[in-house]
């Protein structure tokens, strides 16, 4: 089974835009769980443009499905936030500070030493560690050598090329996924996944453990309703 983890960053974006507490991030997280989501993902960034550090503490108290915190571990504040909240999973993402969103995976070969230390720190706290990588077999192997439990494949290139040639777009991801399976890594995927492209990814890589989806899902919910949208995404993961 492939778990759906709903990334609620964009709920926090809307909340922050007026400075109040509407929409309420905790309510949306609990509703997504009630509608069938098997996880909640947040990606607190140093500028707190959407998810704030306090949101993480608040969500930890109420989330009952898998809680996944994504972020750049080069920020000590992020490391401390994760260790204080002990989520089910931390996903290490090499975000550049000024980036509008995540736009690349780790070079797990160049940063092997740093990642190995970070992975050990989080694993010793009982937290599963996923490393965000491009669909590159060398980077997958590098994540294994760093001691990671899983990799998360950065799926923006897949989504970008999907309509032009989905077979071509998915190929690197299948190869990277096969390498992950070969070396004994769990397998996540995320970024720009949507109702258009999710089913084909799942059909191409049936052993996916988890997809984390936010931007498209929350955008779809504006038209389709959140309960209906969560369940539509869940149906796309059924083979
Ligand atoms: C790592 C990843 O792909 C997502 O967490 C993405 O970065 C969402 O971040 P934003 O919601 O800030 O675009
Ligand atoms: N790890 C990917 C994620 O959490 C959500 O990415 P997106 O669906 O908002 O592009």
**Ligand 2 in reach of 7 Cβ (< 6 A):** yes
Q: What is the 212 CA–ligand 2 centroid distance (Å)?
A: 5
Interface pTM (ipTM) of the complex? 0.97
- Does the annotation count 191 as an active-site position? yes
Q: What pLDDT does residue 97 have?
A: 82
Separate counts of helices (H) and strands (E) for the chain: 11, 8
Q: Among all ligands shown, which has an atom nearest to the Cα of 195?
A: 2
Grouping H, G, I as helix, E, B as strand and the rest as coil, residue 7 is strand
pLDDT at 203: 98
DSSP notation for 158-191: HHHHTTT-HHHHHHHHHHHHHHHHHHT-EEEEES
Q: Are 90 and 127 in contact (CB under 8 A)?
A: yes
Between the CA of 191 and the centroid of ligand 1 the distance, in Å, is: 7
CA distance 94 to 231: 31
Convert the pLDDT of each residue in 53-76 to its tens digit: 999 999 999 999 999 999 999 989
Residue 203 Cβ contacting ligand 1 at under 6 Å: no
Q: Residue 92 in contact with residue 129, Cβ under 8 Å?
A: yes
pLDDT of residue 22: 98
Q: Which domains does the chain have, with CATH numbers?
A: 3-237 (3.20.20.70)
Residue found by looking up tokens 């996540």 in the block = 188
pLDDT computed for residue 239 by the predictor: 84
Ligand 2 centroid distance, CA of 68 (Å)? 11
pTM of the model: 0.98
pLDDT in tens, the chain (239 residues): 999 999 999 999 999 999 999 999 999 999 999 999 999 999 999 999 999 999 999 999 999 999 999 999 998 999 999 999 999 999 999 998 888 999 999 999 999 999 999 999 999 999 999 999 999 999 999 999 999 999 999 999 999 999 999 999 999 999 999 999 999 999 999 999 999 999 999 999 999 999 999 999 999 999 999 999 999 999 999 98
Our answer to whether residue 43 is catalytic in this structure is yes
Catalytic residue among 33, 66, 70, 152: 70
- Can you tell me the distance from the alpha carbon of 145 to that of 183, in angstroms, rounded to the nearest whole number? 10
């Amino acid at each position: 089974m492939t778990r759906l983890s709903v990334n609620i960053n964009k709920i926090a974006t809307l909340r922050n835009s007026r400075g109040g507490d509407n929409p309420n991030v905790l309510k949306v997280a609990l509703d997504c769980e009630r509608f069938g989501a098997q996880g909640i993902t947040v990606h607190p960034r140093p500028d707190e443009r959407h998810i704030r550090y306090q949101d993480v503490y608040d969500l930890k108290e109420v989330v009952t499905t898998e809680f996944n915190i994504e972020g750049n571990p080069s920020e000590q504040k992020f490391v401390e936030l994760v260790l204080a909240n002990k989520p089910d999973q931390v996903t290490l993402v090499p975000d550049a500070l000024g980036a509008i969103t995540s736009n690349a995976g780790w070079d797990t070969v160049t940063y092997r030493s740093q990642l190995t230390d970070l992975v050990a720190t989080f694993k010793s706290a009982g937290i599963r560690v996923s490393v965000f990588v491009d669909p590159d077999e060398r980077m997958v192997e590098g994540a294994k050598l760093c001691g990671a439990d899983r990799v998360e494949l950065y799926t923006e290139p897949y989504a970008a090329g999907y309509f032009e040639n989905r077979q071509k777009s998915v190929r690197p991801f299948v190869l990277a996924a096969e390498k992950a399976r070969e070396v004994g890594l769990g397998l996540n995927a995320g970024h720009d996944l949507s109702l258009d492209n999710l089913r084909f990814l799942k059909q191409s890589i049936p052993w996916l453990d988890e997809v984390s989806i936010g931007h498209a899902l929350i955008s779809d919910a504006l038209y389709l309703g959140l309960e209906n949208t969560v369940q539509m995404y869940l149906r796309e993961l059924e083979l």
